Structure 1
Amino acid sequence: MSVFRKVLYSTDFSPLAEHALNFVKDLKSAGAEEVILVHVVDSRTTALPEGVNLIEKKTELAFELPENEARQLLKLVEMAREVKKNLEKDGFKVSLVLISASDVVDAVVKVAEEEKVDVIVVGAHGKGLLAELILGSVSLGIIRKARCPVLLVRKKN
């Protein structure tokens, strides 16, 4: 029986997140079967309402949002579906969670708890002050708040 059967992969679709995806795929050989792909859009910087499921409401939102935000939303959904298809080809069962929230860390941790994941995989950008220089504010927050193991993937130097 695998220790990490169910994996939450938190992504911002950056090159670092793509690098972290390789670690998710590597967990397959350790018995991982299911991936919950999570992307959180900061609702404070968009016209998106707090807590909305972006996949379920994408068509409705595309008509309500300013044109540039609607295009970005549709692009995010398409990128998520591409990653999902890629993971499914590798034999994973995949669920997509694209939501808007004012606190990315809390949203990721909430999904992890609701889905009862065994591990969270996240890239560590290192874009903040001191400790955050090493890890990144979102990854540091996830480490602090998550109740399950967190696998941090850093950039190769």
Structure 2
Amino acid sequence: MSKESFSNIAFCTDFSENADLSFETARDLASHYGATLHIVHVMVNFSLAPPIHATYMPIEYDPKFVEQVTEAARGSIQERYVSKLAGSQRFDVHLLSGYASTEIIRVAEERDIDLIVMGSHGLTGLAHVLFGSTADRVVRRAPCSVLTVRMKKKKMPEKP
């Protein structure tokens, strides 16, 4: 691959431990390829949540609450990610609200993203069937390659 292979890399975070691990991969790839790192966080928009008992009740949020949540997310992005970038690293922060996979794909299309890097929580069995995952939806619908980073499984201590 040439150095021009990736010019825009999106790193998606939910501020989990797995996302933090994924950041290291995204940061290193962006640095290696001289790419702009797009840090993407999608805040849940509760009015988009599925209705409870088939009754839709829109919730009005205090604008101050939304502002506080937004500022907390912005602070976390600065502390956890931006502060760990090299001084010369190009980056852009995308703090969005909505349905995570939809917003990630929208950013990928609008910003001509070449690679999406995100964590995979590794749900299995019934939990995966019931909930699916944002990573699965992004992999299926993304206009570019997606690298999912999975944490190593912790070994269970042996029984004496």
TM-score by length of 1: 0.75
Number of aligned residue pairs: give it: 136
Unaligned runs of 5+ in 2: 49-61, 154-160
Match of 2:138 among 121, 124, 142: 142
Q: 1:137 to 1:92 in 2, by over 3 A?
A: same
Partner of 1:59: none
User: RMSD in angstroms over aligned alpha carbons?
Assistant: 2.6
Contact map agreement 1:128 1:137 (CA 8 A) in 2: no
Distance in 1 (CA, whole Å) between partners of 2:30 and 2:63 is 40
Partner of 1:84: 82
Asked whether 1:125 is paired with 2:125, we answer no
Partner of 1:55: none
Partner of 1:22: 24
Match of 2:93 among 96, 119, 142: 96
Moved over 6 A (4+): none
Deviation at 1:118, TM superposition (A): 0.7
Deviation at 1:85, TM superposition (A): 3.2
Deviation at 1:147, TM superposition (A): 1.1
TM-score by length of 2: 0.74
User: Which of the two has higher C-alpha Rg?
Assistant: 2
Partner of 1:10: 12
Asked whether 1:35 is paired with 2:37, we answer yes
Identity %: 28
For 1:156, what is the secondary structure of its paired residue?
Answer: coil
Unaligned runs of 5+ in 1: 47-62
Distance in 1 (CA, whole Å) between partners of 2:106 and 2:82 is 21
Q: 1:100 to 1:79 in 2, by over 3 A?
A: same
For 2:41, what is the secondary structure of its paired residue?
Answer: strand
Deviation at 1:110, TM superposition (A): 0.4
Amino acid across the alignment from 1:97: H
Distance in 1 (CA, whole Å) between partners of 2:89 and 2:75 is 19
For 2:107, what is the secondary structure of its paired residue?
Answer: helix
